Structure 1
Amino acid sequence: MFYPEKRRNSMARRSYPTDLTDAQWALITRHFQPERRGGRPRQTDRRAAVDAIFYLSRTGCQWRMLPADFPPRGTVWWYFRRWRLDGVWVRLHRNFRVAARVKAGCRSDPTVVIMDALELFGRNMNRGDSHEGGGVIHPFEEDGPCQHLCRQRFGHGFRSILTRD
């Protein structure tokens, strides 16, 4: 019988191009919650979870296709969701954006951003129209959602907002 948990524990972890170096991990480790006092001790290494999240982000693979030498996908998903809700990813992005601006000799906060809007069109399935069973595209009859992208002078993403008219 196949037990993926046993395989994960018995295998030596491979190195991937998306893995953080020791210097990179030292820069970001303070943003992730420390070990809590009391309760059950943590069994998953935070760095391994971050490496798995970066692997998923860079390769674009599905959660179910996460290589077996990373922590289990449910654990990685739990950490990703928790850090997203805690605002860890936004703080990391903000800190690195400020560091890049200061290194380039600019103020830490941008004074000017470039904003672009993109209206998203899709199928209007509620109209009752049908075209080979899939509905008809009516791009100009109804306003769809609009995505607003703000970028700084160096091209770094500043903010992305999705609105519905």
Structure 2
Amino acid sequence: MARADFASDVTREEFERVRPMLEAARRRTRPRKHDLYDVFCAVMYFISSGAAWRSLPQDFPPWRTVHEYFTQWTTAQGGRSSLLERALQELGKEAQLEKLRALMAPR
């Protein structure tokens, strides 16, 4: 079933540029239940809106699923930028990158 479009969505073409790096972060367990594109767009919505996880629109995968991916993608490894930071840089999403860094900043 198709979901609603959101202003924070990236295009499928943009997503295909970062799909390989995002898929590489996944632990190989069972087949994916949700389209990775929808998960990424949900993360983009979260970053752009600043909404609470439980407030994600119903069109997206369950918030717990999106949160799990967000956690995996924002874990910095060995002093490098997080996977999500690198993906946003690759896509030229500077505004979202700054919002992400503000979210992740120690308080």
Given the two structures, how large is their TM-score scaled by the length of structure 1?
0.46
Provide the residue aligned with 1:46 in structure 2: 36
Structure 1 unaligned regions, length at least 5: 1-10, 98-155
1:25 to 15, 28, 33: 15
Moved over 3 A (4+): 34-37, 93-97
Instruction: Note the alpha carbon deviations across 1:60-106, whole angstroms, 9 max, x for none.
Output: 11111110110000000000001112621232355467xxxxxxxxx
Question: Counterparts of 2:56 and 2:90 in 1: how far apart (Å)?
Answer: 28
Q: Normalized per residue, which structure has more helix?
A: 2
Question: Counterparts of 1:96 and 1:20 in 2: how far apart (Å)?
Answer: 9
Structure 1 residue identity aligned to 2:21: H
Question: Counterparts of 2:8 and 2:19 in 1: how far apart (Å)?
Answer: 16
**What is the alpha-carbon root mean square deviation over aligned residues?**
3.0
The Cα shift of 1:23 comes to: 2.1
Alignment length (residue pairs): 92
Q: Normalized per residue, which structure has more strand?
A: 1
Q: Which has the larger radius of gyration?
A: 1
Structure 2 unaligned regions, length at least 5: 77-81
Query: Percent of counterpart pairs with the same letter?
Result: 32
